[in-house]
Amino acid sequence: MELIRGLHNWRGGHRGCALTIGNFDGVHRGHQAMLARLREKAAALGVPATLMTFEPTPQEFFAGAAAPARLSNLREKCTALAAEGIDRLLCVRFEAGFAALSPQAFVDALLFDKLGVRYVLVGDDFRFGHDRGGDFSLLAAAGHLLGFEVDAMPTVTVDGDRVSSTRVREALAAHDLALARRLLGRDYAVCGRVRNGERLGRTLGFPTVNIALKRRVSPVNGIYVVRVHGAGPKLRYGAASVGTRPTVEGKNKLLEVYLYDFDGDLYGLHLQVEFLHWLRDEEKFADLDTLRTQIARDVEQGREWLASNV
């Protein structure tokens, strides 16, 4: 998959594509169904299957810290989209000038003149342009005049649940990892590079790998049982904490993972951490001895859950 960072890097040779547009946060089963349709149409037209997404997301641009939790950062999204067979990912910087584009300019100047779209697939609730003034009807009418096809993807449901990024966030916030798994088609995961920490876990007898979350708001919080890819040739399991470490007055939210039966140096490696089972909320303890006792209990409960479920 070719990643094109910014409209200024979209060259004349890129023109002509089957396009879909959106945040695609989490690349859930609804997104996967849409991308399958896009690939099919792109193959029929003989053009690249292309996805246009935004950094920051429009919600982050307008709402800042009040924006919804991010299911996937850009690197995680790229990995998931590449696995779905997308040919090109156009990542557009969402800023004031872009937000001010009128719906007509969005279609004429961007989709038609610059991208040279042959086909556009959007969700049935798609809105675009300044103040979200454009909708599917406007896009379809423009496509009819300009000579490109426009199609709408109906809502996808799983076991009666409407599949959406919002619904995945709600499931994760409620610690319903089974529902999140059904909506995503896989276990929810966070990826990141192992970085140096304060070595508090080692002091407590439970050395952890520390991974920056790379998002303003985390959709998962608390103590979990996890599966880890990238820590050597085989899968690893462990207990993980997502939080600010209130016992030691921590400020920044961090993912810390204690790997079972592992002794090695993982600094600099890129790991994927899959969340399998929620154990408890993060707590502030009176002292480090009390925290150490609770960590030991978490580790044991995690082993017990794994013995029965994996």
pLDDT tens-place string over residues 111-132: 999 999 999 999 988 999 999 9
The CA dihedral of 36, 95, 142, 22, to the nearest 10 degrees, is 20
Looking at every residue in the chain, the average pLDDT score rounds to: 93
Q: Say how far apart CA 81 and CA 292 lie, in whole Å.
A: 40
Question: What pLDDT, on the 0 to 100 scale, is given for residue 149?
Answer: 97
Measured between alpha carbons, how far is 58 from 123 in angstroms, rounded to an integer? 16
Alpha carbon distance, N-terminus to C-terminus of the chain: 33
Model confidence at 16, pLDDT cuts 50, 70, 90, reads very high
H or E segment at 136?
A: helix 136-146
Q: Are 222 and 211 in contact (CB under 8 A)?
A: no
Residue 200 is predicted with a pLDDT of: 62
Q: Does the pLDDT of residue 247 top 80, yes or no? A: no
Please, which pLDDT band fits residue 263 given cuts at 50, 70 and 90? Answer: confident
Identity of the amino acid at 281: D
CA distance 170 to 282: 18
State the pLDDT at residue 9: 95
Name residues whose C-beta falls within 8 Å of residue 275's C-beta, 6 or more positions apart in sequence: 177, 187, 188, 189, 190, 220, 224, 225, 226, 240
